[in-house]
Homo-oligomer: A and B are copies of this chain.
Amino acid sequence: MNRIPTSESANKCSTCVLGQFCLPVGLNQEEIGKIDSLVTERVRLKKGDALYRQGDTLTAVYGIKFGTLKTEYTLPDGREQITGFHLPGEMLGLDGIGNNQYQSNAIALEDSEACIVKFNEFEILARQIPSLQHQFHRILSKELTQDQRHLLSLGSLRAEERLASFLLNFSDRLAARGYSPSEYHLRMSREEIGSYLGIQLETVSRLFSRFTESGLIQIKQRHIKLIDMDGLLELAGKSSAIHCATHT
């Protein structure tokens, strides 16, 4: 994990393609320009690196520039719960604002980069730019909604429903970023998927096999192809629309 000035790679918010997901949503060019001076550094992470860890003092929140991260809680007895998988344009570290300490670990699942948003400077700027303030509120709120949908999944759905909606959720979020909605690479292990969904890795594996037999998907290693979207929707979504992209 090392820091690099954003100028080095000449990537500023004002030119970033992720603007439509991230902090700049709803801002005009002039306002985005002001953010450029706020976000002057990025962090480069290698697979497995931590962006932050539970207990670290919060000084910044982050926007994912590229890559995939997971956030997780670890219990003293070794059990762990993954609370989210995070894609470019999403913000991380928000759970640390409450008492100035990150409440979870954020770990890179592949080589990734995150933009550093110094939080006290951000709050100052947000007071000057109403649309920035509002967008931040929206981001926090959507994060809440996302977690609550996840709660619904863990609390009310059966294993196959959870997995189906997980696959569709990724499909939507990747599609929104211009990737194929029907074919993508899972950056996480079966165990991590299981942790996220509150089931065992063996169950995940068995379900993938079952879905394949039913002609719903094709999967080879971590490369997955969604064959029968309607079938998956029926499994996951007949009962709900949990997967539906709440990530803008």
Chain A: residues with CB nearer than 8 A to chain B?
A: 73, 75-77, 79-81, 83, 94-99, 103-104, 123-124, 126-128, 130, 133-134, 136-145, 147-152, 154-156, 195-198, 238-240, 246
Interchain CA distance A151-B82 in the complex, whole Å: 9
Q: Is B145 in contact with A144, judged by CB distance below 8 angstroms?
A: no
Expressed in whole angstroms, the minimum distance between the Cβ of A124 and any Cβ of chain B is 8
Query: Which residues in B have their C-beta under 8 angstroms from that of A80?
Result: 156
Q: Which residue of B lies closest to A198 (CB)?
A: B155
Nearest-neighbour CB distance to chain B for A160, whole angstroms, equals 15
| Bound CA span A99–B145, Å | 10
- Please determine whether A134 and B145 come into contact, CB atoms closer than 8 angstroms: no
Instruction: Point out the residues of chain B lying under 8 angstroms from A133, CB to CB.
Output: 123, 126-127, 133
B154 in contact with A103 (CB, 8 Å): no
Measured between beta carbons, the chain B residues less than 8 angstroms from A142 are 98-99
Output the nearest chain B residue to A124 by Cβ-Cβ distance. B130
Checking B127, B151, B240 against A83 with a beta-carbon cut-off of 8 angstroms, the contacting residue is: B151
Enumerate chain B residues within 8 angstroms of A150, measured Cβ to Cβ: 151
CB distance from A11 to the nearest CB of B (A): 26
Nearest 8 interchain pairs by C-beta: A155-B198, A97-B141, A98-B141, A98-B142, A154-B154, A147-B147, A81-B152, A140-B140
Distance in Å: Cβ of A201 to nearest Cβ of chain B: 13
In the bound complex, how far is the Cα of B154 from the Cα of A197, in angstroms?
10
- For A156, list chain B residues within 8 Å (CB): 75, 79-81, 195, 198
B127 with A123: CB separation less than 8 A: no
- Given A138-B98, A145-B95, answer yes or no on A155-B154 (Cβ-Cβ < 8 Å): yes
Q: How far is the CA of A152 from the CA of B77 in the complex (A)?
A: 13
Contact check, B79 vs A239: say whether CB atoms are below 8 A apart.
yes
Name 15 interchain pairs, CB-CB below 8 A, sorted by A.
A73-B149, A75-B152, A75-B240, A77-B240, A81-B151, A81-B155, A83-B148, A94-B144, A95-B148, A96-B141, A97-B137, A124-B130, A126-B127, A133-B133, A147-B147
CA A30 – CA B147 in complex, angstroms? 36
